[in-house]
Amino acid sequence: MNKMLFVTAPLCAALLAVVTALFTGCGGKGAVEAGRLESADGCFTLYTYDDATDRGNSVITLYRESIMDETGGEEAAWTVRGRVSAKYKDGYAGVVLVPDEKTLERLRGGAEAVKLRISGDGGRYRFSLDTENVKDGNTFGREITAPERAAEIVIPFASLKQDVWGVQAPFDPALIRNLKIQTVGQPVSSFSFTIRRVEVTGGGL
């Protein structure tokens, strides 16, 4: 049986800049810390955000769970749940994964992909990399599906693209700041996905 613990209330999108500026990894202080996801391949600190600063009223919460892994043991995972309203026409909610220093070095130093072990409601989400040269939120990303049964999704950096609406910038891995997983579309009456593991492939620092 999964054990679940309620952790945080929603964190507004306005805090994203603060999170990026003040935090590098799992030991940061200065904003609301949502959770830590650690593995032999790296460490990420998780924060939630929503459309409150755009006068929306979407809701997102984060829960820590203890889940059985492939070997029959237990591993920590984080479940994200909420809903997306249409009060703001482009309503959204999501989670930011801020890497620690070692993981950030790997992301910036020759990494080729991110591997997610994820499960969820079968819905569509957008995975993206936030980089220092993107100022308008038009991050490099692609859509993924959170499968109902846990699965690994490999996301090559080469598959990530900006949307057409924003300022176009060159993709430079050396400017990566964090990872994001965000809802797609609005309204969404409910959404749910569980992040079990995040790995960086390539970049063997």
Stated pTM of the model: 0.82
CA dihedral 120, 186, 128, 62 (to 10 degrees): -50
Q: Which two tokens stand for residue 95?
A: 């989670």
Domain boundaries, the chain: 3-202
Spatial distance between the Cα atoms of 65 and 141, rounded to a whole number of angstroms: 27
Query: How is residue 56 annotated by DSSP?
Result: -
Spatial distance between the Cα atoms of 107 and 205, rounded to a whole number of angstroms: 9
Spatial distance between the Cα atoms of 39 and 25, rounded to a whole number of angstroms: 13
The topology under which CATH files domain 3-202 is Jelly Rolls (2.60.120)
pLDDT in tens, the chain (205 residues): 444 333 333 333 334 443 333 334 454 333 344 688 876 667 899 999 999 999 999 999 999 988 877 777 787 899 999 999 999 999 999 999 999 999 999 999 989 999 999 999 999 999 999 999 999 999 999 999 999 999 999 999 999 999 998 899 999 999 999 999 999 999 999 999 999 999 998 855 4
